[in-house]
Structure 1
Amino acid sequence: MSRFDGLVAVVTGGASGIGAAVVHVLRAEGCEVAVLDRDVSGVDGGPGVLPVTCDVTDEESVVRGVETAVVAYGGVDVVVNCAGVGAAGTVADNADDEWRRVWEVNVLGTARVTRTCLPYLRRSRAASVVNVGSVAGTQGLPQRALYSATKGAVHALTRAMAADHLREGIRVNTVAPGTADTPWVGRLLAAADDPAAERAALEARQPHGRLVSADEVAQAVAYLASPGAGSTTGVTLAVDGGMDHVVLRPPAS
């Protein structure tokens, strides 16, 4: 049997990037997956994959989306909060409305989806929540003030939820990618004055010298979500090529 046979997952932001990779990995290991995203037109809704239009900033949309998954599959065992938006700039570069927009998706969206799923998670024999944080939540990165604030909040929220729900049999963890090869990073690179130089700089700041792949993040999510990680809760698992914990000496000239 595969790790996720008989289990049901709700994956937000599952139509692209890391979320899509998570859907692929979970489905390959036997999980039935509801893909919640604002635009699911590109999702292959084959056997065991249910595309559900959902906006994580809207309470009614989230409730409808989760209920659709429950009607289709009978419950929810795993929640993966991948839906997120990026933001660039210093603390002075984004207006209040942008702070509210990014916070609404990255932090409140995570809380909103999780609390909607709680009644079903409490009935599960293998309940798990995995949030997607970032190395920006643990390291001070330039030009990422707003984004870092939201991801730091996701990390703190993860630990608090882990404490609140452990005795209910619900584990809560975070995966913290480094700079990943995702559509959002692709758009940042495309907007740079010198995309090739910007990509080289992003690759160089990660000790293993390249961008993190979406599949590498998805594999970490699958571990944290799996019943085999039953003693793992409240942790932040870095998938960042050593960016958070490894300091290399400069290469010899």
Structure 2
Amino acid sequence: MLLANGPPGSAPQDQAARDARSTGVDLLTREGLGAALKGADVFIDATQSPTADDASADFFRRATGNLLTAAEAAGVQHAVLLSIVGVDQVPDLAYYRAKVLKEELFKAGAVPCSIVRASQFFEYIDEIMSWTAEGDNIRLPPTLLQPIALADAPRAVTDIATGAPLHGVRDVAGPDTLALDELGKVTLTARRDARTIVTDPDAGPFAAVSGKALLASDGAHIAPTHYLDWLTS
């Protein structure tokens, strides 16, 4: 069973909890949750909070608590959580603190779990740049990232979900380490976008990240797709 919804800010909180609204499953009200988990051996939780502020912690506390309680009652044998590489290394970001809380709930739950931390998706680079775009300039910090193609991440998650529970964490990342401002420059060049990347260590939420906090740890699964290949394909 896969639980997923859109990125933060894409919907009101009650809507975001409806991981599969067309099937009537709601993580906040628990509507349809037991029936959806019945007979499932494993579930993958890729749900996100609808906001990136302090309210995200309450959302995860409620939704995750309901999910894990229902999974235990249904006899699920493996709980897989999709999280973020380096999430516990950035305490100044409220959303990252909330994701750490969610990881802790999984670890403390009765269902054996695997936590898969993925790096930032290639497909989100445009959104990240939009946060600090001002006219013809885009301000970005030189934060080190190891982004991954969205298509590569599910394969790695599925491999883990179909195996024995890790009872721990595994990172999943792309093959290239690039500074965010450099990612912006590469992106604009490949698209013949005339805007200018301005390196600004204080620009946007990723300015709160220091050093190698968002790079994959030793033993990580490294996906095959390079960012430039993805851009030009």
Fold shared by both chains (TM-score > 0.5): yes
Amino acid aligned to 2:36: A
Of 73, 79, 87, which residue of structure 2 is paired with 1:137?
A: 87
Deviation at 1:84, TM superposition (A): 0.8
- The separation in 1 between residues aligned to 2:116 and 2:123, in whole angstroms, is 15
Q: Does 1:82 align with 2:46?
A: yes
Contact kept, 8 Å, 2:106 with 2:113, in 1: the verdict is yes
**Structure 2: segments with no counterpart, 5+ residues:** 8-15, 178-214, 219-233
Q: Deviations over 1:20-65 (max 9, x none)?
A: xxxxxxxxxxxxxxxx963758xxxxxxxxx424442x2x3x2x22
Q: Residues 155 and 39 (structure 1 numbering): CA distance in 2 closer, same or farther, change over 3 Å? A: closer
Deviation at 1:86, TM superposition (A): 6.7
Amino acid aligned to 1:217: A
Contact kept, 8 Å, 1:137 with 1:155, in 2: the verdict is no
- The separation in 2 between residues aligned to 1:221 and 1:13, in whole angstroms, is 13
Amino acid aligned to 1:240: A
Of 217, 226, 229, which residue of structure 2 is paired with 1:245?
A: 217
Deviation at 1:130, TM superposition (A): 0.5
Identity of aligned residues (%): 14
Q: Deviations over 1:137-178 (max 9, x none)?
A: 23227xx520121122223233322xxx3xxxx420111111
Pick the structure with more helix per residue.
1
Q: When the two structures are superposed, what TM-score results if normalisation uses the length of structure 1? A: 0.54
State the partner residue of 2:102.
Answer: 154
Q: Residues 186 and 107 (structure 1 numbering): CA distance in 2 closer, same or farther, change over 3 Å? A: farther
- The separation in 2 between residues aligned to 1:111 and 1:155, in whole angstroms, is 11
Q: Does 1:213 align with 2:149?
A: yes
Q: Residues 78 and 38 (structure 1 numbering): CA distance in 2 closer, same or farther, change over 3 Å? A: same
State the partner residue of 1:69.
Answer: 36
**Number of residue pairs aligned between Structure 1 and Structure 2:** 170
Of 78, 98, 102, which residue of structure 2 is paired with 1:128?
A: 78
**Structure 1: segments with no counterpart, 5+ residues:** 1-8, 18-35, 42-50, 89-97, 247-253
Q: When the two structures are superposed, what TM-score results if normalisation uses the length of structure 2? A: 0.58
Contact kept, 8 Å, 2:64 with 2:105, in 1: the verdict is no
Of 175, 190, 193, which residue of structure 1 is paired with 2:116?
A: 175
Of 66, 72, 75, which residue of structure 2 is paired with 1:112?
A: 66
Q: Residues 86 and 238 (structure 1 numbering): CA distance in 2 closer, same or farther, change over 3 Å? A: farther
State the partner residue of 1:249.
Answer: none
Q: Residues 239 and 190 (structure 1 numbering): CA distance in 2 closer, same or farther, change over 3 Å? A: same
Contact kept, 8 Å, 2:33 with 2:70, in 1: the verdict is yes
Q: Does 1:52 align with 2:52?
A: no
RMSD value, Cα: 3.4
Contact kept, 8 Å, 2:114 with 2:169, in 1: the verdict is yes
